Amino acid sequence: MKLIILDRDGVINLDSDHFIKTPDEWKPIDGSLEAIARLNQTGYRVVVATNQSGVGRGLFDMAMLNAIHAKMHKAVAAVGGRIDAVFYCPHAAEAKCACRKPQAGMYLEIAERFDISLVNVLTVGDSLRDLQAAVAVGAAPILVLTGKGAKTLAAGNLPENTQIFADLSSAIDQVLA
């Protein structure tokens, strides 16, 4: 099975320092939905792993998070793609849970659910914590410069062998080349 793990905010959709709290605030990054469809068309299963501390902070509830994800699924389907699963951490950072990236809990759950080793599985994110979670399970980290990606690159200290691309679409172009 070919699997790829994507972060949500800043990779698939525009990010916000004030959180994506409603479906209306969820807006795809140009080319990201089509990139997911291209992955599907070449046999990849696409999984999203996203920290959603807005739930834990009380900024939105689970029903709203589900509505945001329903909009994302519908938007991807409209261009001929699909997201096979969405894994999320609803906890605030203060909870110090095992599932919030940079911890590997969500990724371990993905490995268990799909019965697959994540060694060398491509993992795309825009923040250092995305890359750190990937490395913790032996996955291959990819940094996109959308969302917080440019700031992440400027801050340095990227994990060894991190690939860097302008956006999800250009990363997928290279993956499928």
Active site residues: 7, 9
DSSP string of 90-127?
A: ---GGG--SSSTTSSHHHHHHHHHHT---TT-EEEESS
What order do you get walking across the sheet with 2-6 strand by strand? 85-89, 44-51, 2-6, 122-125, 140-144, 163-165
Q: CB burial class (10 A; 0-12, 13-18, 19+) of residue 17?
A: exposed
In angstroms, rounded to a whole number, what is the distance separating the alpha carbons of residues 62 and 36? 25
